[in-house]
Amino acid sequence: MTLLNTLKLPLYLFCFFVLVACGSKSSTSENTETKVVTAKSSAYKTEAKKSETTNSSDKVTISGKDMTVKSGEEFCVDVQVSNFIDVISMQYSTNFDSKLLEFLEVKNPSLKDLSTKLNGSNFARAKGEVNTLRFSWFVQDLKGISLYDDSTIYQVCFRALAKSGTVTEVDFAEKPMTGEIGNSKYQPMQAEFGAAKITIE
Contact status, residue 193 vs residue 62, Cβ threshold 8 Å: yes
Question: What pLDDT does 2 receive?
Answer: 62
pLDDT class for 5, splitting at 50, 70, 90?
low
pLDDT at 32 over 60: no
pLDDT, averaged across the chain: 81
Q: Is 76 left (phi over 0), alpha (psi -120 to 50) or beta?
A: beta
For the entire predicted model, the pTM comes to 0.73
Amino acid in position 110: S
